[in-house]
């Protein structure tokens, strides 16, 4: 049982036993027990949560990892936060290592910014602070009306490269697209390695064809107001895939924040193999590894995929031995301890650049 004088409790908001592993590692490092609660699904898939101990006047940390059933995990977090709020908890802080819907943080065509919606829902449910790791876009912090601590996994991944990649001095850091170049540059500078960027695409994307942008313009009614004549924009045309940088005879290390659908990574690995790279590693913070990702990785030219345990992926590891895990429970536990004790979080961001 947690010692009452500590003034805080740590709960896990996940119904899956596989997803409570990270929560147990964090509580072991903190020297406390996991709060007593029951999270389960009714027969109609409604989420039900029973908190089995008093939380009145306490600071509560809710640890929520995001498995494949993202929407159920979100409801678990919202319902638990609201249950603790109505049980008179003093502060409710969410520890969400991988923040869901973070890819939907920009307006796309006629869609919506779902990440902003989720931030509003969390605030309404009772959260007053969140701890997360490697947001897909750092500007997401501006969606929240309360503090957000966006921790970094790069120190753990660079340490893995130094300790586990043989002859890493002969490696080169690779960005699989120009948009990932800043992150790759940060890794390259820390490890004193070279940098390469993959640019272009195999074929012209037709994802925008259904948007209506290519439909013929309306015939202008010359009898009415002439209106504005907008200048015509030349259509973008990406060149064939090319690698900017020399990867011949080198170990190629592709870095990114999320690895989900792996087709892009597999294609990048094939290009790097063609250019002479003899080993290919993938380093990412969040290993979602959806759909057939384990099989595609196993059959590809990729030698190893290294991700952190922000997202449970034990099933994928059983399907693909190339997937390795780096534990980040240490920094999450330290963040909880510092927030509870009112200590500065700056220590956790020492030597961390904006692009990390």
Lowest mean per-residue pLDDT among 56-60, 138-142, 212-216, 310-314: 212-216
| pLDDT tens-digit readout, 220-264 | 555 555 666 778 777 777 777 889 999 999 999 999 999 998 999
Say yes or no to pLDDT of 74 above 50.
yes
Same domain, 162 and 40: no
Closest CA to 254 of 265, 244, 263: 265
Same domain, 49 and 147: yes
**Alpha helices, DSSP H, located in 250-305:** 263-274, 293-299
The 8-class DSSP code of residue 309 comes to B
What is the pLDDT, as a whole number, of residue 4?
Answer: 41
**Structure tokens, 244:** 């900017």
CA distances from 97 to 133, 134, 329, 330 (A): 5, 8, 10, 12
Rounded to the nearest 10 degrees, the angle between the axes of helix 181-191 and helix 154-164 is 50
Determine contact, residues 94/76, Cβ cutoff 8 Å.
no
What is the pLDDT, as a whole number, of residue 132?
Answer: 96
Same domain, 147 and 196: no
Closest CA to 301 of 252, 244, 257, 258: 252
Same domain, 293 and 315: yes
For residues 174 and 181, what is the distance between their CA atoms, to the nearest angstrom? 8
What's the pTM value of the predicted model, to 2 decimals? 0.86
Compute the average pLDDT of residues 272-288: 95
Kindly state whether residue 22 falls inside one of the protein's structural domains.
yes
For residues 234 and 33, what is the distance between their CA atoms, to the nearest angstrom? 61
Give 297's Cβ-side CA count (13 Å radius).
Answer: 27
Same domain, 20 and 77: yes
For residues 268 and 245, what is the distance between their CA atoms, to the nearest angstrom? 14
Mean of all residue pLDDT scores within the chain: 87
| pLDDT tens-digit readout, 88-108 | 999 999 999 999 999 888 888
pLDDT band of residue 58 (cuts 50, 70, 90) is very high
Same domain, 123 and 46: yes
**Farthest-apart Cα atoms in the chain, separation:** 81
What is the pLDDT, as a whole number, of residue 278?
Answer: 93
Say yes or no to pLDDT of 205 above 60.
no
Compute the average pLDDT of residues 72-77: 93
What is the pLDDT, as a whole number, of residue 1?
Answer: 39
Compute the average pLDDT of residues 118-144: 94
Same domain, 93 and 127: yes
Helix (H) or strand (E) holding 47: strand 47-51
Burial class (CB in 10 A: 0-12, 13-18, 19+), 129: middle
- CATH code for position 251: 3.40.50.2020
Kindly state whether residue 210 falls inside one of the protein's structural domains.
no
Say yes or no to pLDDT of 213 above 80.
no
3-class secondary-structure state, position 121: helix
For residues 194 and 326, what is the distance between their CA atoms, to the nearest angstrom? 24
3-class secondary-structure state, position 160: helix
Helices (H) and strands (E) in the chain, counts: 9, 14
Same domain, 74 and 167: no
For residues 79 and 50, what is the distance between their CA atoms, to the nearest angstrom? 10
What is the pLDDT, as a whole number, of residue 204?
Answer: 45
Closest CA to 259 of 352, 201, 203, 325: 325
Structural domains in the chain (count): 2
Same domain, 321 and 188: yes
Kindly state whether residue 355 falls inside one of the protein's structural domains.
no
**333 CB neighbour count, 10 Å cutoff:** 21
In sequence order, what are the beta bridge partners of 325?
307
Say yes or no to pLDDT of 303 above 90.
yes
Same domain, 134 and 161: no
Expressed as residue numbers, the domain containing 47 is 8-151
For residues 266 and 302, what is the distance between their CA atoms, to the nearest angstrom? 7
pLDDT band of residue 351 (cuts 50, 70, 90) is confident
Determine contact, residues 61/336, Cβ cutoff 8 Å.
yes
For residues 215 and 80, what is the distance between their CA atoms, to the nearest angstrom? 48
What is the pLDDT, as a whole number, of residue 3?
Answer: 41
Same domain, 172 and 315: yes
Kindly state whether residue 227 falls inside one of the protein's structural domains.
no
CA angle 140, 256, 209 (to 5 degrees): 75
Same domain, 117 and 263: no
């Amino acid at each position: 049982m947690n010692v009452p004088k500590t003034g805080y409790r740590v709960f896990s908001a996940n119904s899956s036993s596989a997803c409570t592993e990270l929560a147990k590692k964090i509580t072991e490092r903190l020297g406390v027990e996991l709060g007593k609660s029951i999270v389960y699904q009714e027969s109609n898939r409604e989420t039900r949560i029973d908190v089995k101990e008093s939380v009145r006047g306490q600071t509560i940390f809710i640890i929520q990892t995001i498995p494949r059933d993202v929407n159920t995990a979100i409801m678990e977090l919202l319902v638990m936060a609201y249950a603790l709020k109505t049980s008179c908890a003093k502060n409710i802080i969410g520890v969400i290592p991988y923040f869901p819907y973070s890819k939907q943080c920009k307006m796309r065509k006629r869609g919506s910014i779902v990440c902003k919606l989720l931030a509003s829902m969390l605030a309404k449910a009772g959260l007053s602070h969140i701890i997360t790791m490697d947001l897909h876009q750092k500007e997401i912090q501006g969606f929240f009306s309360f503090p957000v601590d966006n921790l970094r996994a790069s120190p753990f991944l660079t340490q893995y490269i130094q300790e586990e990649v043989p002859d890493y001095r002969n490696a080169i850091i690779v960005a699989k697209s120009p948009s990932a170049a800043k992150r790759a540059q940060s890794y390259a500078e820390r490890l004193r390695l070279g940098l390469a960027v993959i640019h272009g695409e195999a074929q012209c994307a037709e994802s925008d064809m259904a948007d209506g942008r290519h439909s013929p313009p309306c015939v202008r009614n010359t009898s009415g107001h002439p209106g504005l004549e907008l200048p015509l924009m030349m259509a973008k045309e990406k060149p064939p895939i090319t690698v900017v940088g020399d990867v011949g005879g080198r170990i190629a290390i592709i870095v990114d924040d999320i690895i989900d659908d792996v087709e892009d990574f597999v294609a990048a690995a094939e290009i790097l193999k063609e250019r002479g790279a003899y080993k290919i590693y993938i380093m990412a913070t969040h290993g979602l590894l959806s759909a057939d990702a384990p099989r595609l990785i196993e059959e590809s030219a990729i030698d190893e995929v290294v991700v952190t345990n922000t997202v449970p992926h034990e099933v994928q590891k059983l399907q693909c031995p190339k997937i390795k895990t780096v534990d980040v429970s240490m920094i999450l536990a330290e963040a909880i301890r510092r927030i509870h004790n009112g200590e500065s979080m700056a220590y956790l961001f020492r030597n961390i650049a904006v692009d990390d």
